[in-house]
């Protein structure tokens, strides 16, 4: 939220990109349930990405999730990476 304020955005009831007005520039507790849920999902995805990029133990987590009880590969977020990120 602070980055939006730093860029000149202000609170207003109707979103207006041109005039930099946004209805969600309020404290987290005042956001609606949908907006809070979207924020929670975004934070969780950022944490997964951070672990995948920076945490060497993530490869072990991927190995543990490769097979289910039936022996078939399990779909994991970690499997989406096709090449190392430098």
What would the two tokens of residue 49 be?
């990405």
Q: Are strands 21-22 and 10-11 parallel, antiparallel or unpaired?
A: parallel
- Over the chain (86 residues), the average pLDDT of each successive run of 10 is 92 96 94 94 91 69 55 47 51
Q: What is the phi-psi region of residue 15: left when phi exceeds 0, alpha when psi lies from -120 to 50, beta otherwise?
A: beta
pLDDT at 42: 93
Domain boundaries, the chain: 1-31, 32-86
Tokens of 12: 């207003």
User: Residue 78: CB partners within 8 Å, gap ≥ 6?
Assistant: 52, 58, 61, 62, 65
Tell me the H-state helices in the chain: 2-6, 33-54, 58-64
pTM over 0.75: no
């Amino acid at each position: 939220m602070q980055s939006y304020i730093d860029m000149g955005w202000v609170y207003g009831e109707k979103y207006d990109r041109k005039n930099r007005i946004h209805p969600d520039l309020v404290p987290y507790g005042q956001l609606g349930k949908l907006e809070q849920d979207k924020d929670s999902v975004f934070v969780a995805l950022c944490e997964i990405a951070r672990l995948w990029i920076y945490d060497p133990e993530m490869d072990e987590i991927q190995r543990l999730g490769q097979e289910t009880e039936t022996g078939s590969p399990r779909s994991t977020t970690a499997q989406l990476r096709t090449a190392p990120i430098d």
